[in-house]
């Protein structure tokens, strides 16, 4: 299966996803669970991981997908463009990027909450999907329970703030 990335108007991700699903295309929005505090109460809420982007999983090749997106753009507003890696039309999401995202997101396409600890200068993830991805963590905000993960998406380095609770710091 190929993954394609669409740039869509912000705030319209779910409407456009629903439209694609009604047209028989498997569209999804990668989401992540983050800790959100309101009035002193912490809870996990789902948040869009890449605002303004919609992913499509399909067996169609690039040329066929281009044609289908052109037709669908005429029927639905908010679709900006299908992202491509180069002028030749190579799909924007390379296979290693797709594999990386699949490992992070799992089958339900949601990045779950992770927990870990800091030992000296090293982050050790003890639980959750960030296990094995410690080297991509570039910043930790213990107060907000977030980590900034640097990954490559569509050939560009991208930083994403993900949910990570550091339960212990060992010096």
Residue 61: pLDDT band with limits 50, 70, 90: confident
pTM comes to: 0.84
Q: What is the SS3 string spanning the chain?
A: CEEEEEEECCCCHHHHHHHHHHCCCEEECCEEEEEEEECCEEEEEEEECCCCEEEEEECCCHHHHHHHHHHHHHHCCCEEEECECCCCCCECCCHHHHHHHHHHHCCCCEECCEEEEEECCEEEEEECCCCCCHHHEEEEECCCCEEEEEEEECCEEEEEEEEEEEEEEEC
Q: Which two tokens stand for residue 168?
A: 């212990």
Give pLDDT tens digits for 36-50: 888 888 888 999 999
> Cα separation of 9 and 164, whole Å?
29
Q: Cα Rg for the chain, rounded, in angstroms?
A: 18
Give pLDDT tens digits for 64-121: 888 999 999 999 889 998 887 666 666 667 788 888 889 889 899 999 999 999 988 8
Phi, psi of 97 (to 5 degrees): -70, -40
């Amino acid at each position: 299966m190929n993954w394609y990335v669409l740039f869509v108007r912000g705030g319209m991700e779910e409407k456009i996803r629903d439209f694609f699903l009604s047209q028989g295309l498997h569209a999804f929005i990668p989401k992540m669970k983050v800790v959100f505090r309101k009035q002193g109460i912490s809870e996990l809420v789902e948040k869009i991981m890449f605002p303004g982007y919609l992913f499509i999983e399909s067996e169609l090749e690039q040329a066929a997908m281009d044609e289908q997106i052109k037709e669908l753009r005429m029927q639905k507003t908010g679709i900006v463009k299908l992202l491509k890696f180069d002028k030749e039309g190579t799909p924007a999401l390379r296979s290693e990027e797709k594999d990386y995202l699949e490992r992070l997101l799992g089958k339900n396409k949601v990045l779950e909450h992770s927990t870990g600890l800091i030992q000296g200068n090293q982050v050790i993830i003890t639980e959750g999907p960030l296990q094995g991805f410690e080297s991509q963590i570039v910043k930790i905000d213990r107060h907000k329970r977030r980590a900034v993960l640097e990954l490559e998406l569509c050939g560009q380095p991208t930083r994403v703030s993900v949910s990570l609770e550091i339960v212990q710091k060992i010096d």
